[in-house]
Amino acid sequence: MKFTNGFWLMRKEYEPTFAVEYAGHEVDGESLVVYGVAKRITDRGDCLNIGMLTVTFTSPMEDVIHTEVTHFDGKAGKPVRPVIYPAERTVTVTEDENTLTYQSGAAKAVIAKASGSWCVAYYRNDRLLTMSDYRNMARMLNRDTGESYMVEQLSLDVGEYVYGLGERFTTFVKNGQIVENWNEDGGTASEQGYKCIPFYLSSKGYGILVDTLGEVSFEIGSEKVEEVQFSVPGETLGYYVIAGEDPKGTVSRYCELTGKPALPPAWSFGLWLTTSFTTNYDEETTSSFIQGMADRDIPLHVFHFDCYWMRAYRWCDFIWDPDTFSDPAGMLKRYHDRGLKICVWINPYIGQMSYLFKEGKEKGYLLKKTDGSVWQTDLWQPGMALVDFTNPDAAAWYQGKLKALLDMGVDCFKTDFGERVPVKDIQWFDGSDPADMHNAYTYLYNRAVFTLLEQEKQKGNAVLFARSATVGGQQFPAHWGGDCSATYSSMAETLRGGLSLACGGFGFWSHDISGFEQTASPDIYKRWCQFGLMSSHSRLHGSSSYRVPWLFDDESCVVLKEMVELKCRLMPYLYQMAAVSSETGVPMMRPMFMEYPGDRTCLPLDMQYMMGDSLLVAPVFRENGEVEYYLPEGKWYNLMTEELREGGKWHTETFDYHAMPLMVAPGRILALGSCSTKPDYDFASGVTLAVSWLADGECAQVTIPDLCGKPVMRAEAVRRGQEITVTVQGGDGSWQTKALWDKDAVIRKEGNQAVIALSEGK
């Protein structure tokens, strides 16, 4: 939302109240309250007939400062805020003649006290991160409507880039964009987002979280080009400044504050196959898909039933359509006997034909209008209503319906929708502001389902396939990118969305392989299979056509099989990266700048990414197989072509459908498992410790997890001259090792140690 007419003038309808000058402060326990008046004070008469902003500084944890700016404190209602998890911290307030300093850990807010020089500058130790100074912090009153908005503008440094703000499919670097924090079901080809997160990450390493789940309007260098502006309706605006040591440290701190991702079960990292959306299917159809995959030796691990497992017009009643599935419990058992896990589609909407509508209406579990009637619409399902998850009894009622499915044999749920939440003439059970609850709803919805899965399946066995999210939603993995199209452009925008979402601590993310809308060409299908299997979670799904590979061409079956088998072999590494994500909040899929913040070439890159700290993935986005990709400094090894590439520069190569740039970073040990048919096995048994390029004197370490993500084996490799010594702790002794770039190296293994004698020149 814009308030100015160029740099000098305000828009005629807005009356600003800027913080212009320091007018005093108070220390209240661990809080610092500072008063900023709206004009320079030269005598006592200036103290009359002016506005004032009250700015309160607090800290929920080390390295994090919360700033709250208030105009009128008596306004009814408060914003719906994210759930946060405070931690121990030490706060200090110091003062000298010209400044006040509020400090928590390495984070500092320095407030200028000098006359006519209002400024709040944020530091990490002595390094300036950003600041709010002249005509930045304000309340804006719309004279025409009487609406009030609170505004903050934080400075952008020269060459500073802004990322994140949720799953955004627009340009990865957000500078110059207007971003509305308002969840919408808009597909991947628009500026709208299913997962709107009012948190942005700076290339300088810090992050800003606006402290509301409601509407926030961002102008990222698009109103004042040297500043990020964010505004909210009302009389209060709060935000957290998160001063991590680098982008990964800030994302980790953000997840400590708002919740770390749960660790999904290892089986969920395998291949998911679905019925697709509006296709015709019954048990014979689904069984033919499962058998077709087996006939072609393509490992399959999860089968998903989309919407029409229920009867038309009755979504959701959670009853299998008897015309197509006469024995659902028996069918699920038969599929379990084949080693499959089962997922079914659900959403929070209750159509009027569903028996649950009457039940929910009578019990008061459905969202109501201000006149006390049930809110309903014909959009999506005839006469549908919305479960009111602000009512604990309604949430328990909904969970009870899902528990019956879990008892039948369902293992997990695809929690679709959660964005189409009304705001006009709405009354929530707990009295929440309807505009704020629009985004907050998805948190309550997915939390209810995920909590049930943790209770019924035990922690470590719970996983969702969720579309909508807000702050804190990263705790309930996994998420997928929504409705993309079967084009290379849509594949690229899908990747941009995933990278943007990763900046908000979403550790586990997927997408519809080959696109949801339309049907991909065999070329796009194969290239998307490569991208999809190098994502944390991998699902074949579409709208009106099936996604089994033999419907595209024979080579699609081969490519899919190769990629699934490769992912299964990578599981010792991938699951360790998953455990790191759960423990720290640092996502599995990482934008290049997050892993290499000191390399300026990495700052805008959005067509490649790091999968964990050791694998660089550059999907192919052209029919001719050509791909341009950048490698940071060092010698990188392509795991698929077995070729070494020099870093610190760009590469242009052409790949057939059986390869892509899948580059192992230098100075790493890549753990390759002994099983290529399933993702959940004993990762340490028979593991291959594949050492990437090590310089003389360089050392690398790796940890191998069990199926709970706990370390069971550790290895270290040290190069001295032409020898690499690998030392192992734990495991059953069945491990082996190799130097990726030297096939002719001689390996001597004895006990828990092996020596790799490199070939001359290697």
| Confidence band for 77, pLDDT divided at 50, 70 and 90 | low
> Residues 505, 251: contact at Cβ < 8 Å?
yes
| Confidence band for 75, pLDDT divided at 50, 70 and 90 | confident
Spatial CB neighbours of 381, under 8 Å, sequence gap ≥ 6? 313, 315, 349, 351, 352
Give the residue extent of every domain in the chain. Answer: 4-242, 266-584, 589-664, 682-757
**How far, in Å, CA of 758 to CA of 738, rounded?**
10
> Residues 305, 312: contact at Cβ < 8 Å?
no
Cis preceding-peptide flag for 469 (omega within 30 of 0): no
**How far, in Å, CA of 115 to CA of 46, rounded?**
13
CA distances from 316 to 373, 464, 607 (A): 20, 17, 38
701 - beta bridge partners?
716
| Dihedral angle over CA of 590, 596, 602, 605, nearest 10 | 0
Tokens of 542: 């579409």
Q: Is the pLDDT of residue 308 over 70?
A: yes
Span 366-409, pLDDT tens digits: 999 999 999 999 999 999 999 999 999 999 999 999 999 999 99
In 81-235 the beta strands, taken as DSSP E runs, fall at 91-95, 99-104, 107-112, 120-124, 127-132, 138-142, 148-155, 162-166, 178-181, 196-202, 207-210, 216-220, 227-233
Span 597-623, pLDDT tens digits: 999 999 999 999 999 999 999 999 999
* 4-242 and 589-664, same CATH topology: yes
Span 4-50, pLDDT tens digits: 999 899 999 999 999 999 999 999 999 999 999 999 988 999 899 99
Q: Which of 599, 636, 600 is nearest to 618 (CA)?
A: 636
User: Could you please report the per-residue DSSP string of 345-380?
Assistant: EE-SEE-TTSHHHHHHHHHT-B-EETTSSBP-B-SS
> Residues 573, 672: contact at Cβ < 8 Å?
yes
Q: Does domain 589-664 have CATH number 2.60.40.1180?
A: yes
**How far, in Å, CA of 676 to CA of 679, rounded?**
8
Tell the residue number behind the tokens 């959701």, with chain if given.
316
Q: Is the pLDDT of residue 483 over 70?
A: yes
Reading phi first (left if > 0) and then psi (alpha if -120 to 50, else beta), residue 61 is in beta
Could you tell me which CATH number the domain at 266-584 has? 3.20.20.80
Tokens of 606: 């959005």
CA distances from 46 to 24, 35, 39, 77 (A): 15, 15, 8, 32
**Sign of the alpha-carbon torsion through 327, 331, 333, 337:** positive
Predicted confidence at residue 78, as pLDDT, reads: 63
**How far, in Å, CA of 89 to CA of 647, rounded?**
41
DSSP, collapsed to helix, strand or coil, labels residue 528 as helix
Span 95-121, pLDDT tens digits: 999 999 999 999 999 999 998 889 999
Tell the residue number behind the tokens 């997927």, with chain if given.
510
Tell the residue number behind the tokens 């390295």, with chain if given.
63
Could you tell me which CATH number the domain at 4-242 has? 2.60.40.1760
Which residues does the annotation mark as catalytic?
A: 416, 419, 483
